[in-house]
Structure 1
Amino acid sequence: MSDPTPALADPAVDGAAPAAEPAPEAAVTEILARVQAPEGQGRAIRDAATGDVVGRAPEHTVDDLDAAIARAKAAQPAWDALGHEERSRLLLEAADRIDAAAEALARLLSREQGKPLNGPNARFEVGACSAWLRTAATTVLEPQVVVDDGEVHAELVYRAVGVVGAIGPWNWPMMIAVWQIAPALRMGNTVVVKPSEYTPLSVLALLDVLNQVLPADVLIGISGDREVGARLSSHPDIDKVMFTGSTATGRKIIESSAGNLARLTLELGGNDAGIVLPDADPQAIAEGLFWGAFINTGQTCAALKRLYVHDSIYEDVVSALGALAQQIPMGRGLDEQNVLGPLQNRQQFDIVSRLVEDAKARGGRVVAGGEPAPELGELFYRATIIADVEDGIALVDEEQFGPALPIIRYSDVDDAVASANRLDVGLGASVWSSDREQAREVAARIQAGTVWINSHGGVHPMIPFGGVKGSGYGLEFGVEGLKAVSVPQVING
Structure 2
Amino acid sequence: MTSTTPANPGQYTSTPTTIGGVVGAPSAARAAQLVRRASGGKDSAPVEMTAPFTGLVNATLPQATDADARRAFANAREAQRAWAATPIADRQRVLIRLHDLLLERQDEVLDLVQLEAGKARMDAFDEVCSSALVAAYYGKHSAKILGAKRSAGLIPVLTKAGELRHPKGVVGIISPWNYPLALTAMDVFPALVAGNTVVQKADNQTALSALWLHELAEEAGLPAGVWQIVLGRGSKIGDAMVEESDYLCFTGSTPVGKKLAGQVSTRLTGYSLELGGKNPMVVLPDANVAKAATGAVTACFSSAGQLCVSVERIYVHESIREEFARAFVAKTEALRLGSTLDYGADMGSLTSADQLESVSAHVEDARAKGVTVLTGGRARPDVGPLFYEPTVLTGVTEDVRLFAEETFGPVVAIYGYTDLDDAVDRANDTSFGLNASVWSRDGAAGWAVAARLKAGTVNVNEGYAATFGSVAVPMGGMKESGVGRRNGPEGLLKYTESQSIAVQRGLKLRPMRGLPPKLWTKSMTASMRVLRRLPGR
> TM-score when scaled to structure 1?
0.91
- For 1:123 and 1:440, locate their aligned partners in 2 and report how far apart those are by CA, in whole Å: 29
The partner residue of 2:233 within 225, 239, 242 is 225
Q: Which residue does 2:512 correspond to in 1?
A: none
Matched, 1:135 2:125: no
Q: Which residue does 1:145 correspond to in 2?
A: 150
- For 2:371 and 2:335, locate their aligned partners in 1 and report how far apart those are by CA, in whole Å: 22
Q: Which residue does 2:31 correspond to in 1?
A: 32
Residue pair 1:390, 1:396 contacting (<8 A) in 2 also: yes
- For 1:204 and 1:345, locate their aligned partners in 2 and report how far apart those are by CA, in whole Å: 20
- For 1:392 and 1:147, locate their aligned partners in 2 and report how far apart those are by CA, in whole Å: 57
Classify 1:457/1:26 alpha carbon distance in 2 versus 1 (closer, same or farther; 3 Å). Answer: closer
The partner residue of 1:424 within 423, 427, 431 is 431
The partner residue of 1:101 within 98, 105, 115 is 105
Offset at 1:176? Answer: 0.1
Question: How far does the alpha carbon of each residue in 1:273-300 deviate from its partner, in whole angstroms, 9 at most, with x for none?
Answer: 1111111121121111111111111110
The partner residue of 1:301 within 300, 305, 308 is 308
Matched, 1:247 2:263: no
The partner residue of 1:182 within 185, 189, 194 is 189
- For 1:491 and 1:281, locate their aligned partners in 2 and report how far apart those are by CA, in whole Å: 55
Classify 1:275/1:123 alpha carbon distance in 2 versus 1 (closer, same or farther; 3 Å). Answer: closer
Residue pair 2:94, 2:217 contacting (<8 A) in 1 also: no
Q: Which runs of 5+ in 2 are unaligned?
A: 1-22, 504-537
- For 2:376 and 2:459, locate their aligned partners in 1 and report how far apart those are by CA, in whole Å: 27
Matched, 1:355 2:362: yes
Offset at 1:391? Answer: 4.2
Q: Output the aligned Cα RMSD.
A: 2.1
Residue pair 1:267, 1:472 contacting (<8 A) in 2 also: yes
Structure 2 counterpart of 1:125, one-letter code: E
Question: How far does the alpha carbon of each residue in 1:145-190 deviate from its partner, in whole angstroms, 9 at most, with x for none?
Answer: 3314323222222210100001111110111011111000010000
Q: Which residue does 1:18 correspond to in 2?
A: none
Residue pair 1:275, 1:432 contacting (<8 A) in 2 also: yes
Question: How far does the alpha carbon of each residue in 1:412-449 deviate from its partner, in whole angstroms, 9 at most, with x for none?
Answer: 11211111111111001121112222222222221111
The partner residue of 1:452 within 440, 456, 459 is 459
Structure 1 counterpart of 2:126, one-letter code: F
- For 1:455 and 1:437, locate their aligned partners in 2 and report how far apart those are by CA, in whole Å: 15
Structure 2 counterpart of 1:304, one-letter code: V
Q: Which residue does 1:9 correspond to in 2?
A: none
- For 1:137 and 1:294, locate their aligned partners in 2 and report how far apart those are by CA, in whole Å: 32
Name which of structure 1's ranges 419-428 and 141-150 shifts more when overlaid on structure 2: 141-150
- For 2:30 and 2:106, locate their aligned partners in 1 and report how far apart those are by CA, in whole Å: 12
Question: How far does the alpha carbon of each residue in 1:10-42 deviate from its partner, in whole angstroms, 9 at most, with x for none?
Answer: xxxxxxxxxxxxxx9585545312222699972
Mapping 1:50-449, distance limit 5 Å: 50-117=54-121, 119=122, 121-139=123-141, 140-141=144-145, 142-148=147-153, 149-212=156-219, 213-235=221-243, 237-449=244-456
> Between Structure 1 and Structure 2, how many residues are aligned?
468
Q: Which residue does 2:19 correspond to in 1?
A: none
Offset at 1:85? Answer: 0.5
Name which of structure 1's ranges 67-76 and 438-447 shifts more when overlaid on structure 2: 438-447
Q: Which residue does 1:486 correspond to in 2?
A: 496
- For 2:434 and 2:262, locate their aligned partners in 1 and report how far apart those are by CA, in whole Å: 21
Classify 1:391/1:446 alpha carbon distance in 2 versus 1 (closer, same or farther; 3 Å). Answer: farther
Question: How far does the alpha carbon of each residue in 1:303-340 deviate from its partner, in whole angstroms, 9 at most, with x for none?
Answer: 11111111111111111110111111111142430121
Offset at 1:258? Answer: 2.4
Classify 1:333/1:125 alpha carbon distance in 2 versus 1 (closer, same or farther; 3 Å). Answer: farther
Classify 1:173/1:232 alpha carbon distance in 2 versus 1 (closer, same or farther; 3 Å). Answer: farther
- For 1:202 and 1:232, locate their aligned partners in 2 and report how far apart those are by CA, in whole Å: 23
Classify 1:442/1:99 alpha carbon distance in 2 versus 1 (closer, same or farther; 3 Å). Answer: closer
Classify 1:393/1:143 alpha carbon distance in 2 versus 1 (closer, same or farther; 3 Å). Answer: farther
- For 1:170 and 1:321, locate their aligned partners in 2 and report how far apart those are by CA, in whole Å: 29
- For 1:111 and 1:217, locate their aligned partners in 2 and report how far apart those are by CA, in whole Å: 28
- For 2:428 and 2:159, locate their aligned partners in 1 and report how far apart those are by CA, in whole Å: 45
Residue pair 1:274, 1:304 contacting (<8 A) in 2 also: yes
Q: Which residue does 1:12 correspond to in 2?
A: none
Give the 3-state SS of the residue equivalent to 1:173 in structure 2.
coil
Give the 3-state SS of the residue equivalent to 2:273 in structure 1.
strand
Q: Which residue does 1:467 correspond to in 2?
A: 477
Matched, 1:46 2:38: no
Residue pair 1:167, 1:229 contacting (<8 A) in 2 also: no
Residue pair 1:79, 1:190 contacting (<8 A) in 2 also: yes
Q: Which runs of 5+ in 1 are unaligned?
A: 1-23
Structure 1 counterpart of 2:69, one-letter code: L
Give the 3-state SS of the residue equivalent to 1:211 in structure 2.
helix
- For 2:336 and 2:211, locate their aligned partners in 1 and report how far apart those are by CA, in whole Å: 30
Question: How far does the alpha carbon of each residue in 1:231-284 deviate from its partner, in whole angstroms, 9 at most, with x for none?
Answer: 24422x311111111101101111221232221111111111111111112112
Classify 1:261/1:127 alpha carbon distance in 2 versus 1 (closer, same or farther; 3 Å). Answer: same
Q: Which residue does 1:17 correspond to in 2?
A: none
- For 2:26 and 2:387, locate their aligned partners in 1 and report how far apart those are by CA, in whole Å: 28
- For 2:108 and 2:96, locate their aligned partners in 1 and report how far apart those are by CA, in whole Å: 20
Residue pair 2:117, 2:178 contacting (<8 A) in 1 also: yes
Give the 3-state SS of the residue equivalent to 1:198 in structure 2.
helix
Residue pair 1:28, 1:105 contacting (<8 A) in 2 also: no
- For 2:105 and 2:45, locate their aligned partners in 1 and report how far apart those are by CA, in whole Å: 26
- For 1:311 and 1:267, locate their aligned partners in 2 and report how far apart those are by CA, in whole Å: 34
